[in-house]
Amino acid sequence: MPTKNGRVRGASNELVAAARNLRASQTPAERVLWQALRGRQLDGFKFRRQYPVGNSVLDFVCVERKLVVELDGAHHSLDEYVRYDQARTEHLEQYGYSVVRFSNAAVLTDLDMVVEQIRSELAGRESSSE
């Protein structure tokens, strides 16, 4: 049963294993962004990576501000992925999350812009009680 923030209490072994596997096999863009977000480096906000919420594993999330950061490869511009991503975003919004997406290319070529946009999104969101 999901908690009010969408995180599955006692997430399935499969979801936990998938999250662990994704953390161990990050893409180059995920590694770069994680170095900028980890350890409360971004204005003191704690980010988690490959975090289970609902039936999904999120790339990065600041639970305090309910901000999800997703990184997308080039295939996410295909119609089927656009529809999937939109449905996933709508599902997360039901739990009060806001989702911001960046291409892998943006992270690798303009990390400062990506970090500034994340900072702006954080500033525009209120703290959650969890």
pLDDT tens digits for 53-112?
777 788 999 999 999 999 987 554 656 778 888 888 998 888 889 999 999 999 999 999
Interstrand relation of 48-53 and 56-62 (parallel, antiparallel or unpaired): antiparallel
DSSP secondary structure string for all residues of the chain: -B-TTSPBTT--HHHHHHHHHHHHT--HHHHHHHHHHGGGTTTT---EEEEEETTEEEEEEETTTTEEEEEE-GGGGSHHHHHHHHHHHHHHHTTT-EEEEEEHHHHHH-HHHHHHHHHHHHHTSPPP--
pLDDT of the residue at 2 = 46
The pTM assigned to this predicted structure is 0.79
Domain ranges across the chain: 13-123
pLDDT of the residue at 1 = 36
| Residue 116 burial (10 A CB sphere; 0-12, 13-18, 19+) | exposed
Q: Is the pLDDT of residue 126 over 90?
A: no
pLDDT of the residue at 128 = 63
Instruction: Please identify, in words, the CATH class of the domain defined by 13-123.
Output: alpha beta
**Lowest-confidence segment of 11-20, 54-63, 120-129 by average pLDDT:** 11-20
pLDDT tens digits for 21-65?
777 768 899 999 999 999 999 999 999 998 887 777 889 999 999
